């Protein structure tokens, strides 16, 4: 293995990416890791949006437009997180349990 190629691999069947070491030995492991990363990113983005919404709400000084904007950001971020989590749950129920697609367990 060349020195350049050894920088790409970070172990047996693991490849170095911007997301960290991903296991590429099977499709199941790769999909599981990628879904986990995206759920983590969704949680982080939700946290940032919630903090922004609470900050907007607390600094509104009674201005109805800012109060409504803060409430809207909070509601939208929680709705988006619920949508992402429910879509993962539905994907697991349909893809794994009902259709029994190989490699998604």
Domains of the chain, by residue range, sit at: 28-98
Average pLDDT over residues 1-11: 67
Question: Which whole number is the average pLDDT over 47-65?
Answer: 94
pLDDT band for 93, please (50, 70, 90 cuts).
confident
User: Residue 23: phi, psi to the nearest 5?
Assistant: -80, 115
* Both tokens assigned to 97: 């349990």
What pairing do the DSSP bridges indicate for beta strands 14-17 and 9-11?
antiparallel
Which residue(s) pair with 9 in the sheet?
Answer: 15
Does this model's pTM top 0.85? My answer is: no
What is the pLDDT of the chain when averaged over all its residues? 83
């Amino acid at each position: 293995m060349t020195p350049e190629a050894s920088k790409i691999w970070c172990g047996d069947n693991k490849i170095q990416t911007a997301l960290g070491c991903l296991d590429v030995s099977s499709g199941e492991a790769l999909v599981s890791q990628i879904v986990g990363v995206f759920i983590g990113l969704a949680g982080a983005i939700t946290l940032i949006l919630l903090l922004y919404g609470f900050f907007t709400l607390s600094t509104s000084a009674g201005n109805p437009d800012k109060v409504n904007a803060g409430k809207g950001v909070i509601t939208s971020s929680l709705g988006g997180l619920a949508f992402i989590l429910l879509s993962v749950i539905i994907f697991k129920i349909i893809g794994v349990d009902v259709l029994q697609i190989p490699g998604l367990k």
